[in-house]
Structure 1
């Protein structure tokens, strides 16, 4: 049954990959007609319009369909046993098609991977598969989606295993490989030669001395890749902090991309840049869209060196605007774009330094793609295998191995989180090779709070409050007035200290803290803990969102730790985890 569903998942992923690509191509053709009609300013209108549609769909119907998708699949795999809402693949397909088709700087691989994972999850739930089988089918869907996009079945399978599982144990490998092979076969059968994303010439190593240049390039990409990851999440943090509607944030991101695109159009004329545009890939400014036309031109060595470097750097900014603002699309292709651009520019530099040792600058664009993504995503094996599958040439295996390894090792030492796990870490979910999680992320305040806590009256004397402390053995109390309104909190330490110093002539109203920590029913317990640590407090009041004076419950730091222990026990009982380390212990 599992192998049959894996094959079906691969077939559906292959079909969906083709449908999604045709949708992106169709929307690209429609949107490209606007600048053709009204001129260069049309490139500002186009991404704004597409982002508005995408932002509405994700904000209204499936917030987890925004962004680049893979972190959401990882969260589902680890915390929810691979269960993904049925609407997510549908919303992801439409929203990502509008984002990318209107020039948003995103890749289609992330959406296809999330759509494939959602397909696998949906089939598992339909046929009532157990938790382990459900998670395996999620990996099958993600892997076959990536494989179908790049025409790389082994690379897709390794990507799914490296990103979601982290190791070969704990996953059935054969169903994943089966799904990836079938996904590629279906996509190639329906799409023909156009199924492949890249056209790479046969390139090789001129001499073993050239490996020194590839090693240097790998180290540089180890640094550059982490600059890119930090930039992406700085942009995401900026948009999250904006005091505006979530519907408007993608529109603002689209506006910034449009302004950048107009500048890029001018630069294209200055540099003499011409991308490899086809009927399936109509013209857009270099940094807009997935960027395959630029990558293919870079691999063929037809992009001027200044264009390689400039557009490779500007692509970071454009993608940060698109995805950071909540646009729906992947980071895979944009990261490859950056690697091709900056790597190609380095190739020209090495060629100038030693033309006999580095005769083919375009080879550095190809290897740079792998080195950049390995440093950003921490999937070195996937990068090496996938590039060889895409090119059908093993002549670059040594340059790939040395560049990818050096980039990955340096990037990991600079920042242990990948471009995928960093997003989860910022939500309080910590993963280490797929087996470490923050259990508190799965527990809400409503599940653990004390609903009818012992309260004090503001008119109560400190001496009376101390007697309550002795009777109840509590150390933290909410203070509620005669009308049932929460007016403050008080802790035993304050009561004891003030009574020791000046006697007990104070009332609770004199000693209570009116600026107490407030949370709501839907706040997760890891958020509660972080807020407690920021304020150096050991308690929080749960208020009614409709009546901010009405207390619904009380939470202490002891409740947080009990919640953690209970969540860990439950997850271990389910067999979901082998080891756990909560975020606050990192």
Structure 2
């Protein structure tokens, strides 16, 4: 039976274990804790929305814009954009970044670390956007709040950066799960849209986080599906060609949405003009069609139960798509998944009605096409087919819809990508044809932190030492000698311990029983041997960070700094380019003779 010491259960030991690629149990523990934290954050956010709605919305319903007087509901978007313009855009530019795009950016370029100011801004901007009658969803705030809260846990505990990446995925999945009661879709969304990879080491913690968050939300809100729909089925397979047509139309609409959202001409307008355009356009449409405001889940429920008129469906398909895209292009950080689902449902219902008019005997119920349109639009806009299909099943609790759903989603995704030239909505920066998170080398190196492969056998020394000091340095058989310089401006160097041992052997042979010169010194920069220039890197850094630093600075090795106060930092090890390459090629740090 294995014996455990008290040191095995310390936080320092936990950090050290997380640095390795096989830290699955430790990551699962983090997933459980992340799920509980994010579930609580999401419940708080939803309660905040409900508390705000009590002030002026009919029956305290955050989506009941139809019950407001036309003047009030048209005025709300102007108030919302004014608050965002005054309170958000007076802050520095980096504080304006919110939502899913911000999460992906922090994961890609900042190792999953989130600024506190952006997180605090997300609370009130999310509430103002939804209750202010803008065409906005709550999933963007949910993902940002969940991912940042989970990452903040890791930062507080000073966990290695490879575990922060998993915590971001856990928070993302948990945010979706708790916000919409869709645990499976949350997992798939986190892996497909945010992490952009599927690995066992990430999947299991993310599943646990999503499960725990759903349980926390269900304690407060119950386990009801988001939409209640009648029992319907596709019926005749002759409807499949009509499903393909649905996919084509939805794919074109998705491409239109992305192109307007990313329109550089609109983004160059002055801020006041952009915000005014969003507020006025939303207010004008809301005067006649309040269904375009807010998330629109009440409208989706109406579409699925055939309760909306054709003119309302047309407004949801065209006006809500254009207004949502204009809002994004105008610089207002909103969640887009909710509005996208509404647009897809309305489009699908209209196509289903047209099919029923053309072929009344064989056509399926329009609500079937509405469900297919939801999944197709979400999949095409995000280029995330699996997440869209899982969301479709969990939101509707209709497994029979999956077969035509797969066809509609694939056709829509291909149409948006190939015919309109649109990548996923959140993939805005590519390098060598790939987003940084999609590059296989960076993905592999990001799963492990430097302690897993660094060489710990080293001693620190000054440049000039005596022969006796040199012998004492080698008593512990160090692999590396860290040569510290006389000033901080000079580069720290590393010399192999074997090089000094060889020089001492040759020095002793050259003396031939003669007494060594008195006060003889050894200059470690002059003895024959290769010396590596070093730059510092933090103990929490991942191998991808180390690799990029070596590439950018044209170095062969880095020294790993341990400690959080400048005057108390110590060197814990050395990581060389060769150690990183051996890890990548063999994918097992235990095979690396530098690992400890």
The TM-score range, normalised by the shorter chain, is 0.5 to 0.7
Alignment of 1:115-514 (within 5 A): 115-169=145-199, 171-192=201-222, 196-234=225-263, 237-244=264-271, 249-262=274-287, 264-265=288-289, 285-414=290-419, 415-422=421-428, 424=429, 431-432=434-435, 434-436=437-439
Deviation at 1:63, TM superposition (A): 4.8
Deviation at 1:177, TM superposition (A): 0.5
Deviation at 1:172, TM superposition (A): 1.7
Deviation at 1:346, TM superposition (A): 0.3
**What do the CA deviations read for 1:138-176 (whole angstroms, capped 9, x no partner)?**
011011111112211111100000012222138521000
Measured in 1, the distance between the counterparts of 2:191 and 2:185 equals 10
Residues 260, 329 of structure 2: 8 Å contact kept = no
Deviation at 1:350, TM superposition (A): 0.9
Normalised to the residue count of structure 1, the TM-score between the two structures is 0.67
Deviation at 1:91, TM superposition (A): 1.3
Deviation at 1:433, TM superposition (A): 7.9
Residues 88, 96 of structure 2: 8 Å contact kept = yes
**What do the CA deviations read for 1:368-404 (whole angstroms, capped 9, x no partner)?**
0000111110000111122112222211111111111
Deviation at 1:294, TM superposition (A): 0.8
Deviation at 1:431, TM superposition (A): 4.2
Residues 80, 128 of structure 2: 8 Å contact kept = yes
Pair 395,568 (structure 1): closer, same or farther in 2 beyond 3 Å:
farther
Measured in 1, the distance between the counterparts of 2:94 and 2:142 equals 14
Residues 54, 94 of structure 1: 8 Å contact kept = no
**What do the CA deviations read for 1:37-85 (whole angstroms, capped 9, x no partner)?**
9942222321121222233343244755657611111111111111111
Equivalent of residue 110 in structure 2, options 69, 80, 103: 80
Structure number, greater radius of gyration? 2
Residues 67, 330 of structure 1: 8 Å contact kept = no
1:276 alignment counterpart: none
Residues 257, 321 of structure 1: 8 Å contact kept = no
Q: Are 1:14 and 2:39 an aligned pair?
A: yes
Residues 66, 291 of structure 2: 8 Å contact kept = no
Deviation at 1:199, TM superposition (A): 2.9
Pair 63,154 (structure 1): closer, same or farther in 2 beyond 3 Å:
farther
Measured in 2, the distance between the counterparts of 1:294 and 1:166 equals 31
Deviation at 1:28, TM superposition (A): 3.5
1:456 alignment counterpart: none
Secondary structure of the residue that 1:389 maps to in structure 2?
helix
Residues 61, 91 of structure 1: 8 Å contact kept = no
Measured in 2, the distance between the counterparts of 1:116 and 1:567 equals 35
Question: What CA RMSD, in Å, does the superposition of the two structures yield over aligned residues?
Answer: 3.4
2:132 alignment counterpart: 102
**What do the CA deviations read for 1:445-478 (whole angstroms, capped 9, x no partner)?**
xxxxxxxxxxxxxxxxxxxxxxxxxxxxxxxxxx
Aligned residues: 429
Residues 344, 365 of structure 1: 8 Å contact kept = yes
1:48 alignment counterpart: 78
Normalised to the residue count of structure 2, the TM-score between the two structures is 0.66
Measured in 2, the distance between the counterparts of 1:91 and 1:210 equals 47
Deviation at 1:357, TM superposition (A): 2.1
Pair 431,63 (structure 1): closer, same or farther in 2 beyond 3 Å:
farther
Measured in 2, the distance between the counterparts of 1:35 and 1:382 equals 29
Measured in 2, the distance between the counterparts of 1:197 and 1:56 equals 35
Residues 31, 101 of structure 1: 8 Å contact kept = no
Pair 260,96 (structure 1): closer, same or farther in 2 beyond 3 Å:
same
Deviation at 1:35, TM superposition (A): 9.2
- Following TM superposition, where does structure 1 have runs of at least 4 consecutive aligned residues deviating by more than 6 angstroms? 33-38, 567-578
Deviation at 1:563, TM superposition (A): 11
Greater mean deviation of Cα atoms: 218-227 or 365-374: 218-227
Deviation at 1:311, TM superposition (A): 2.1
Pair 233,36 (structure 1): closer, same or farther in 2 beyond 3 Å:
closer
Which residues of structure 2 form unaligned runs of 5+? Answer: 1-25, 59-63, 443-547, 559-575, 585-596
Measured in 1, the distance between the counterparts of 2:357 and 2:159 equals 59
Measured in 2, the distance between the counterparts of 1:102 and 1:565 equals 48
Deviation at 1:249, TM superposition (A): 4.4
Secondary structure of the residue that 2:228 maps to in structure 1?
coil
Pair 146,315 (structure 1): closer, same or farther in 2 beyond 3 Å:
same
Residues 57, 68 of structure 2: 8 Å contact kept = no
1:3 alignment counterpart: 28
Measured in 2, the distance between the counterparts of 1:76 and 1:118 equals 10
Measured in 2, the distance between the counterparts of 1:154 and 1:219 equals 27
